[in-house]
Amino acid sequence: MIEVLPVQASLSRLASRTGARPGARSVAATLLAVALAAVTLGPAASPAAAATIPAGAGSYTDSRPAGTSGPTTNTGAPVTPKLTAAARNKPVPTNDWWTSLAYQRYGDNPYSTPMYGHPLTYQAKASGLEVGYPTTPAIVGDGRQYEYAHKADLTVGLSGLNSPDTKADDWSDWTVTPYWADGSRTFRATIGHGMPFVYAKGSGGDARITTASTPTVFADNGNVVGITVAGHHYALFAPTGADWNISGTTITAGLAGKDYFSLAVLPSTDALATYRKYAYSFVTGSQVAWQTTGGNVRATYTLATEAKEGTERGTLQALYRHQWLHTTDALTPYTYVSPRGTMKVRESASFTTSQKNNGVVPALPATSGVDRARLTGYLNEVANASDPFSGARDTYWTGKALGKLAQLVPVADQIGQTAVRDKLLGLMKGRLQEWFTAGGASEFSYDKDWKTLTGYPASYGSDTELNDHHFHYSYYVYAAAIIAQYDASWAADSAWGTMIKHLIRDTANPSRTDSAYPFLRGFDVYAGHSWASGHQGFAAGNNQESSSESINLSAGLVLWGAATGDNALRDLGSYLLTTESEAITQYWFDASEQVFPASYKYGTVGMVWGSGASYSTWWTANPEEIHGINVLPVTGGSLHLAREKAAIKRNIAEMERENGGPAQEWRDLLWEFEALSDPASAKVKWDGVNGNYTPEEGESKAHTYHWISTLDTLGAPDMTVTGDLPTSAVFSKNGTRTYTAHNHGSTARTVTFSDGKTLSVPARSTATSTGPGGSDPDPDPDPGNPSTGNTFRLKSGGVLTTATTDPAGADTIASADGVNRDGTPYRPTVYEVKKVNGKVSAGAATAFRLRVDAGAKVGLAPQVRVSYDLTGDGTFDRTETFRYFATDPVNGWEEYTQAVGTRAVTGSLGELKAGTVRLEIWNALGNGTSQVQTGTDAAVLRIPYV
């Protein structure tokens, strides 16, 4: 095993695993009769006197099987949640960014491990809360890992505080309040994702800030002080009437009879006035609300606040890249550094994102490109195997086997092999029913302390560390959804549906009032993805390796909700899948090449950590597994990966470079991945092997053949078009689109696609139709090989792209703040493309066409600079600064081009070899913001290269 991450204890990692990460789990059950809201997950069974609790036709236990373990410390000692009395009966969302506050994984650390809220990082200690703002990445682990590791700039607490432990006192969707008490003093601090503030409350002592080095004071207004520590700017806010006293590295303030104070990390010293406005608007909770309609997923993220002084109830929030790429809400010019790229600041207590829904289909549609006789032979190999489950006994490997069979059921049905279909369904039902019946060799048990359901035999710390439940159970939910598609009675609550709903409640509970399971245990709604470790006990924070197995759960929710008529649960699955898809695109695959540090040599990662990411897995350094672990399992929920086809091509190319050649061990997974971008190339690789290979453990030749042949016939998924039914998809090849949808309902319905196409789908059926339209299967060519003319569009999010399918939008250009900025970029809006190759075109020159608008503001002047880093080494060899463009004070777009002429040119052009091209636009004059259009033919840069 390659160990490239800083951890506080060694981890045992079993070999021969297709996905793994850290965690733990225990068991025992209590009253489960709970009224669930929003989605119909069904009533929980009343507790039985004995250890077996009925759940429809199934059952689970309230005590672990003999000889097994629940959650433990690193020394194997049993552990219970570390909560205050106020929080004791509230289900703990293990697998979160802050879980080490509640889970004491290391017996000698009763406080916490580092917690990565972003932009701030935290660690609890006896004297209070360490706070840091890491802004410089380190490349560690033989170059495989980048990290912005926690390093305390200051510690916030009370004078004399010396608490024996830190407990979790309260939490909400992405905030948490740790609690300290030492017998004389009590201290609380509310922190969260995207929060530049720490909101503190205490009793028994003065507010105390201890800095890591002697601070520089840039503002001192009595109860409001601005300091700089380690190059980072902080503001300290005490109640009105209080006064901060600074003595060396210790800063204290009496609280003037109050019990609150706050601090904030500032993006710049001149932001102090803005942050002071919100310093006494204390955040008390956070909540996300989602809605899936008409092929779009909307989510609103809201902070609840209370005014400690005055009436201000607003606040400031730093949005991650996956959020600000998909919001039209106004953002300030303020930004922060984070391991996920630039965070942008919103001045409001809420914001809304909107994304196209990524559809999920039970199977790719039938095509003439599939040889039915050959496919039947492959299907029979699986159905007639002596052991279709390959000896699997634990939750993970049983799940993998169930997933393999589930993929083949609709494929067999599609070609009329009903006997094979029914045999596969019977195998799946039988194995699930074994697990869903207490008292046998396989069963589920409930832990009343941790409020979780664990399957035994467990694996990969799903019991002792509460790891990976969303990975393991994703296969059970997905398999049950396929069964429900063909046998609704099996999925009824009175039959086996109740047990499936327990697994859903354990992993992706949509209810915040369920006393038996936490809300969305492992899914971090603000980070946009799930976490795998149940205890979060690492110096690098929490982690997730197999993002695709997390997607598998979301896809299973879509299909289970659709098959059982639970549209709210279906729409939850759509929200989770669509949100995590963008997070994967940005943070695992760096599709826009704007997230990974410039010094990091890899273009994809196997694992994301709170502090950064790593080109690794838990069990091997083999590049095939590093790339493949975020692909498996390949299902009708994997189509979302096709949104970034150029990124897939770069991903496959990197794997082959690192591997020293094409994939061998996991070749089928990587062929299927490649087929989402370039089906013809994948088909050539499949044909070259002619079926002579060993499938990955969760795959089969039947599924791989069907997948590649179907996409070769239909073309790659066309993610520019969406249907208003979540179980629909579109494919495109040579100007022809193929539309497909599955209707789980009992009546026919018409599906409407975003390009105007309609498709009538009979009840409980799949329908397919073709029509004109569509784009090239690779609408976003690799920027490393730009097309002739080398014209790049500006894309919101700081990207120059050759794609022509991105939606139109607009970005804000920051104010010049009343200072003449002519010739010198000031808080510029930056657009960039990396890894560009090209030779200078004789006689050509840099050209651009931009639309800008200052609204009714007077005297603004956008200005552009274009820079060329010829070798991608971080040094720009050529810069061209153009004259500014004086805007008019009338609402409406105005055109700004290179025709204004250059103001200054430095350096020389030369051949681009994996180079970088950057366009910066800023306001050279004036005292207000303006806008620049993105995503259109009037938002382009043309470079003088061929």
Catalytic-labelled residue, pool 147, 170, 493, 549: 549
Going by C-alpha positions, the residue among 564, 590, 570 that lies closest to residue 494 is 564
Q: Tell me the C-alpha distance between 552 and 402, whole Å.
A: 13
Contacts of 382 (CB under 8 A, 6+ apart): 388, 404, 405, 408, 424, 700, 702
Neighbours of 142 (CB within 10 A): 11
Token pair of 320 as six digits:
């991650």
Q: Indicate if the alpha-carbon torsion angle 14, 15, 16, 19 is positive or negative.
A: positive
580: which 2 tokens? 């995590």
Q: Which amino acid is at 646?
A: A
Bridge-partner residues for 356, per DSSP? 296
Catalytic residue among 465, 493, 545, 724: 545
Q: Please, which residues bridge with residue 88 across strands? A: none
| Strand, helix or coil for residue 288 | strand
Token code pair at residue 584: 């994967």
Which runs of E-coded beta strand occur in 418-508?
Answer: 443-447, 452-456
The full 3-state SS of 148-179, as one line of letters, equals CCCCCCEEEEECCCCCCCEEEEEECCCEEEEE
Q: Residue 652: which residues within 8 A CB-CB, separation 6 or more?
A: 627, 670, 673, 674
Distances (CA, A) of 419 to 387, 563, 653, 843: 18, 22, 41, 69
Per annotation, catalytic residue among 130, 443, 468, 593? 468
List of E strands, 163-313: 166-171, 175-181, 186-192, 197-203, 207-211, 216-220, 224-229, 232-237, 245-247, 250-253, 260-266, 281-293, 296-307
Distance CA 261, CA 224 (A): 10
Q: What distances in angstroms separate CA 431 from CA 406, 442, 493, 653, one per listed residue?
A: 12, 10, 18, 39
| Residue recorded with tokens 């620049």 | 932
**∠ CA 746-752-754, rounded to 5°:** 150
Spatial separation of the C-alpha atoms in residues 648 and 630, rounded to whole Å = 12
Q: Which residues of 528-567 are buried (b: 16+ CB within 10 A; e: fewer)?
A: bbbbbbbbbbbbbbbbbbbbbbbbbbbbbbbbbbbbbebe
Active site annotation includes 443? no
Beta strands in 674-744 (DSSP E): 716-717, 728-733, 736-743
| DSSP-derived secondary structure letter, 539 | T
Looking at this protein, which amino acid is placed at residue 75? T
CA dihedral 72, 73, 77, 80 (to 10 degrees): -60
Sorted by sequence, the CB contacts under 8 Å of residue 292 that are 6+ apart come out as: 298, 357, 570, 571, 574, 575, 726
Q: What is the DSSP string of 357-390?
A: -----SSPPP-TTS-HHHHHHHHHHHHT-S-TTT
Residue 16 contacts by C-beta under 8 Å, 6 or more apart in sequence? 619
Concerning whether 413 is annotated as a catalytic residue, the answer is: no
Beta strands in 412-494 (DSSP E): 443-447, 452-456
Residue type, 365: P
CA neighbor of 209 nearest in space, from 221, 225, 231, 193: 225
Cα–chain-centroid distance for residue 736? 32
Q: Confirm whether 309 is a catalytic residue.
A: no
Annotated catalytic residues are 468, 545, 549
